[in-house]
Every structure is written in C-alpha cells, then in structure tokens.
Amino acid sequence: MLKIKELTIENPILLAPIAGYTDSPFRKICMTEKCGLSVTELISAEGIVRKNRKTLEMLKFTEEERPISIQIFGKDPYVMADAAQIVENYKPDLIDINLGCPARKVCNSGSGAALSRDPARIESIASEIVKKCTIPVTAKIRTGWDDGNKNYMDVVKALENSGISMIAVHGRTRAQMYSGRADWSIIEDIKKHSSVPVIGNGDITSHEMAFEKINETGVDGVMIGRGAMGNPWIFSGKTPGIEEIIEMISLHIDLMTAEYGEYGIRLMRKHIASYIHGFRNSAKIRQEIMHHDSKRGIMESLKELA
Ligand SMILES: Cc1cc2nc3c(=O)[nH]c(=O)nc-3n(C[C@H](O)[C@H](O)[C@H](O)COP(=O)(O)O)c2cc1C
C-alpha cells in the first residue's frame, strides 16, 4: 500500500505515462487488472490555458480509471499553475509535472527534461502549482541531462522545497533517451535521501521483477510503461491463457471504438501487435490485422493464435 497525502493506493505497481498509448481505453484496460494508479500522457500547459479543444479532450477520464493522475508539461511557472488549476476542475486524484520528456520538440522549448538543467526554475514551477492546487502534486524526473550532469539530488531537493508529494524517477539521463539500461542504484540513492515517497521506473518487464525492485531498493512503488503494452496482467501478476488474451483484446477494441469510432480499429493495431508478441504465428496474424477494418475480421484472425 502506498500513501500520497490523503490518497491511498492499494497496488504499488503503477502505470507510467506513454504518449500515444495511455489514453482512456488503455487506462481502463490496466485498471481491470488492478493497476495502482493510471495516468494520462503528457499534456501541454499552454494548450490547456489557451483552451485548445484537442488538448482539453485529453484531460477527460471516467471513474473506472481512478485513481488517476493528469500529467502536464511546460516551462513557465504561472502558465503551469494556471493550467494546473484548470486541470483540478476535472477532479483527478493527482497532478504530475513532466520533468523527463527527452523529445527535441519539448526540450528545445525549455520544457520536460530540459528543466533538469535549471533546478531553481523547477522549484518555482512546482511551488506555484502546489500553491494553487488542493490535490497532491507529483513530479516525474530523469537522473539528469547527460552522464556529466546527473544533478538529480538538486532536482529532488528543489521539488521537496516546493511541497511536492511524490517523485517518480526514470533511471536514465536525457541523453540516454530510451537506450542503455535504467540505473536503479540512482533510484535507490534518491529513495534513501528523500523525504517524500519515491517511485522507481525503468525496464521492468514482469510482476515479479516489480516486487524485486521494490524489495531491493526500498522504493515506495514502481511505474511500468513499455512492459504494460499488451500486458495489463503485469499489474495483477496473473498469467493469462490465449482465451483471456483474446477476451482482453475484444474488450480493448470495444473501448477503442466507443472512444474513437471506426478510427479506433486502426489505433488498435499497435496494441494487438503487443498483445500477441511472442506467439508462434504472431507475424502472420499481425499482417492480416493490418488489412482488417472491422472487429469481426480481427477476431476471426485471432482464432489462429497459437
Ligand atoms: C513512446 C513513449 C512515450 C512516452 N511518453 C511519456 C510521457 O508522455 N510522459 C512521461 O513522463 N514519460 C513518457 N515516457 C517515458 C515512460 O513513462 C517511462 O519513463 C520510460 O518508458 C521507462 O519506463 P519503462 O521501461 O517501464 O517503459 C514515454 C516513453 C515512451 C517509450
């Protein structure tokens, strides 16, 4: 059990934000397997305050997705705080600040991982948000900008000073992007020296490994991103048979079409590829599914799964 201020999280295995993946249907899927906390993808604070229609759409969620965190990114403390106030009207359980996105587009504008180079700015962003919000505010960080600049302790202290309630750490630098291995010794170091709950993140591929990391490093919980793609059972520890996998895909398709209409079928292809990855004939089925525009066709192809 994990406590973030007044919020109690039963399962310490949480969903990590993944742009283009952790939408409302995927969050519901993860919650069917008792994921501890669901989360949106990164959402632009600028877009929120400008009331951009598409951006505001991304803030929507349903009760089954709780507890849920909404993640925002930006660099201006006042814009971020105004955005957080708008976000709070949607009544999420947490608001998370993105301090780890390595994408050039995000970093060049001074947001995401670029902020790690300016802990003073991080402190003012987080302080302004904490001041304006009544729900707990959290942050997700990397270990630093690059090998020569692993200033994570400065960032952690800046966040603690601002009154943040939890810190999630992806054990890579910005320069590493998603390559190499997450450095869990840094995550352990942060946990040892931090006064707020610390969530470890990076390269967890199974339920057992999640608890190994918690036991080895003492972190309060873990976040799983890529390991949850096509494998929501990573949160519950169940080992699904082929039938359960097909049932989950069927439910996922229904949720996708309810959310996006027919386009949901196309968006579902990448998810199905993940669900069936590793099966003997997955390559052939994946090919077939590329040509289906209906749930019926997809389900027919999945009958061949072996
Ligand atoms: C395609 C992709 C999109 C991502 N989008 C986000 C995001 O929107 N916000 C965020 O904080 N992290 C994002 N991440 C980082 C993940 O949350 C996570 O920190 C990283 O993938 C390492 O964890 P994992 O090994 O469990 O996937 C993204 C990662 C990937 C691969």
pLDDT tens digits, one per residue of 81-110: 999 999 999 999 999 999 999 999 999 999
pTM above 0.95, yes or no: yes
Q: What is the mean pLDDT of residues 193-208?
A: 98
Residue nearest to atom 19 of ligand 1 (CA): 170
For residue 92, the model assigns a pLDDT of: 98
Mean pLDDT of the chain: 97
pLDDT at 59 over 90: yes
> What is residue 173's predicted lDDT score, i.e. its pLDDT?
97
Instruction: Provide residues with CB under 6 Å of ligand 1.
Output: 16-19, 41-42, 71, 98, 100-101, 140, 170, 178, 201-204, 224-227
pLDDT surpasses 90 at 1: no
Mean pLDDT to the nearest integer, 254-275 = 97
Contact between residue 175 and residue 147 where contact means Cβ atoms under 8 Å apart: yes
Q: What is the DSSP letter of 202?
A: S
Over residues 221-235, the pLDDT tens digits come to 999 999 999 999 999
Side-chain-side CA neighbours of 286 within 13 Å: the count stands at: 14
Residue 211 pLDDT = 98
Helix, strand, or coil here: 287?
Answer: helix
**What's the pLDDT score for residue 306?**
83
Ligand 1: distance of its center to the CA of 102 in Å? 10
The verdict on whether 35 is a catalytic residue reads no
Work out the percent of the chain whose per-residue pLDDT is above 70: 100
Choose, from 30, 101, 107, 133, the residue flagged as catalytic.
101
How much is the pLDDT for 280?
92
Pick the residue whose CA is nearest to atom 10 on ligand 1. 17
pLDDT at 151 over 90: yes
| Phi/psi at 173 (5° precision) | -85, 170
Coil, strand or helix at 295: helix
Q: What is the mean pLDDT of residues 169-193?
A: 97
CA of 300 to the centre of ligand 1 (A): 33
Give distance in angstroms: CA of 203 to centre of ligand 1. Answer: 10
pLDDT surpasses 90 at 64: yes
Could you tell me which CATH number the domain at 2-234 has?
3.20.20.70
Domain extents in the chain: 2-234, 242-302
Residue 210 pLDDT:
98
Predicted confidence at residue 201, as pLDDT, reads 98
Q: What is the pLDDT of residues 154-164, one digit of tens each?
A: 999 999 999 99
pLDDT at 140: 98
**Per-residue buried b or exposed e for 270-299, using 16+ beta carbons within 10 Å of the residue's own CB:** ebbbebbeebeebeebbeebeebeebeebe
